[in-house]
Structures are given as C-alpha cells and as structure tokens.
Structure 1
Amino acid sequence: MQFLLRLSRGIDALNQRVGYLCDYLILIVCFISAGNALMRYTFSYSSNAFLEIQWYLFGAVVLLGASYTLKRNEHVRVDVLYANLSERGRLIVDAVGLLCFMLPVMIFLIYLSLPVFLQSYASGEKSVNTGGLILWPAKLLLPLGFFLLSLQGFSEFIKRCAALMGLIELETKYEKPLQ
C-alpha cells in the first residue's frame, strides 16, 4: 500500500502543477480577450484566430482543471445523502463512486475521444472560419483531460482505501451549501 500512496502523491503533484498552469491560462485568456476587444474597437480589426484561441484556452482550463478540482475535493456532490453520512460512510461512498462510476466513464470517454484527436491530427484539420486555427490541439484536450481526471480518480480511490484501512487521515468534512 505504501507504493500506491507514493503513486497517489505523484499523481497529486502532477495535477497540482496542471492546476497552476490553468490559473495562468485564465490570465492569458483575459489578456487575449482584452487585446482583441481593444483592437476591434480601436482599430476596427479582428481575427477569428483571436476568438478561437480564447475558446481553446477556456476548453483547456475546463478539461485540464477538472483533475485539479477533484484533487482539491471541490467537485459537485449530491448532498442529499453525503452530508448526513459518517466519515467512514463518506469514504465508502467516494470509493464506490470513483471505482464504479467515475473511472469507467473516464476510460470510455478516452476511448471515444482519442480516435477523434488522432484523425484530426493525421488530416491536419483546420477551422472552417477564415483565419481560423488548426483543430487538433483543441481535440487533444479531450483525451488528455479525461486521462488526467482518470489518474486523479485513481489517486483519490487509493487515498479513500488507505483511509478506510486507517493508514492515513483524510478530510471528508462536507458543508451543505447555504440556502
């Protein structure tokens, strides 16, 4: 189990770095958006490439940032049951949910999205918009984001199992949203 916990820490560190990258991507998107608006209203110049790079970067933030959100335990929960469970009950619900639902769905989404990316890459697919960008980097975000989320799901499963075995302490406190 110690090997798995070390692996979990490595996965956590990877997704922590990816999360920090996403923080900077948001800043870059803001500058691109502001620059695009400034050029459009000041010089009456715009390009579809400016709009598309914003979409690509926002997609990167959502798809790559999901694993960081899971790592920080800030994802959406159905609190009808979860908030009323004991700590052990929450650990069990998390472990079962990760193993039976989240991981199989992520693996299936990787299976579906990888051929889409590979075909786009092989064909050199470009946007149909004038001045548009190549599409494969945006399509790469799909399998990559699902892969990172799968890794983080596996890491969270390891931590839940270790906590259930009493090897580590894991915070499961959950506060219901204010109504």
Structure 2
Amino acid sequence: MRLLLAFSSAVDRFNDWVGRMVYWAILVAVVISAGNASVRYIFHNSSNAWLEVQWYLFSAVFLLCAGYTLLRNEHIRIDVIVSRFSERTLTWIDIIGTVLFLLPMAIGIMYLSLPAVVDSFVRNEMSSDAGGLIRWPVKVLIPIGFLFLILQGLSELIKRIAFLQGLIPNPAPKKQDAHSPVEGAAE
C-alpha cells in the first residue's frame, strides 16, 4: 500500500500543478476577450481566430482541470443527502462511484475520443469559419483531460481504501456547513 500511496501522492502533486498552471489560461482568455471586444467596437474589425482561441482556452480549463477539481473534492454532490452519512459511508459511496461510474466513463470517453483526434490530426482539420484555426490541438485536449481525470480517480480510490484501512486520515472530510458557527469562534 505504501507504493500505491506514493503513486497517489505523485498524481496529486501533478494535478495540483496542472490546475495552478491552467489558472493562467483564464486570465489569457479574459485578456483576449477584452482585446477582441475592444478592437471590434473601436475599429469595427473582428477575428474568428481570436474568438476560437477563447473557446480553446475555455476547453483547456474545463478538460485539464477535471482531475484538479476531483483532487480538491469540488465535484458536484448532493450535500443535503450526503451530509447525513458518516465519513465511512461517504468513503464507501466514493469508492463505489469511482469504480462503477467515474473510471468506466472516463476510460470510455478517452478511448472513444482517440479516433477523432487522430483523424483531425491526419487531415489537418481546420475550422469551417473564415479565419478559423486548426482543430486537432483542441481535440487532443479531450483524451489528455480524461487521462488526468482517470489518474486522479485512481489516486482518490487509493486514498479512500487507505483511509478505510486506518492508514491515513480521511482524504475528503465533511465540509463545514456554511450556516453553522465555526468551532471556537467568538460569538
């Protein structure tokens, strides 16, 4: 289990690094969007390429940060229901959900996306919009993003099993309710 936890830690560090690097894509997208809008209104000129770059950056943020989001335990949950369960029950729900849903879905999407990526690269697929960009760079983000998600899913699975074995503290402790007072806070 020590080797698996070392793998998990490496995956966590990698996805944390990817998430922090991709933050900058948001800033770049905002600057490009503001610049493109300014040029359009001031000079009455626009570029489909700049618009597509914005969409490519949005795609990069969404796809490449899926693993980072899972690492931070920020994926959507039905808190009203799961808040009533014990940490062990929540851990079992996470394990079952990862094995039955997350990993098969992510592996399937990654596998099914590969032929489209290869076809786009081989054909040097271009956008159908005037002045548009080549498409394969954004399409290659699909299998890469899902690979990052698969790796993080495996990391989370390892951590949950280690928690149930008593080897590590809970990797996903219950979040404090936003409306309840924080322990030890002055009243």
TM-score > 0.5 by shorter chain: yes
Going from structure 1 to structure 2, the CA distance change for 1:135 and 1:177 (only over 3 Å counts) comes to farther
* Deviation sequence 1:42-77 (CA, Å, 0-9, x none): 111111000000000001101111111100011101
Gaps of 5+ in 2: 180-187
Alignment deviations for residues 3-54 of structure 1 (CA, whole Å, 9 cap, x no partner): 0000001101110111012210000000000110111111111110000000
- Bigger share in helix: 1
Distance 1:2 1:65 in 2: 27
**1:87-106 per-position Cα deviation (integer Å, ceiling 9, x unaligned):** 11111111111111100110
After TM superposition, give the deviation of residue 80 of structure 1 in Å. Answer: 4.8
1:10 aligns with 2:17: no
Aligned residue type for 2:173: T
Determine which structure has more spread, i.e. the larger CA radius of gyration. 2
CA distance in 2 between counterparts of 1:105 and 1:172 reads: 25
Post-superposition Cα deviations, 1:122-153, rounded to whole Å, max 9, x if no partner, equal 11000011100000011111111111101100
When normalised by structure 1's length, the TM-score is 0.95
Asked if the contact 1:83–1:175 (Cα under 8 Å) also holds between the matched residues in 2, the reply is: no
1:62 corresponds to which letter in structure 2? F
3-state DSSP of counterpart to 2:18: helix
Residue pairs, 1:51-62, within 5 angstroms: 51-62=51-62
Which 5+ residue runs of structure 1 have no aligned equivalent? none
Residue identity (%): 49
What is the root-mean-square deviation in Å for CA atoms of aligned residues?
A: 1.3
| Alignment check: 8 A CA contact 1:79 1:176 kept | no
Q: In the aligned structure 1, how far is the partner of 2:2 from the partner of 2:25?
A: 35
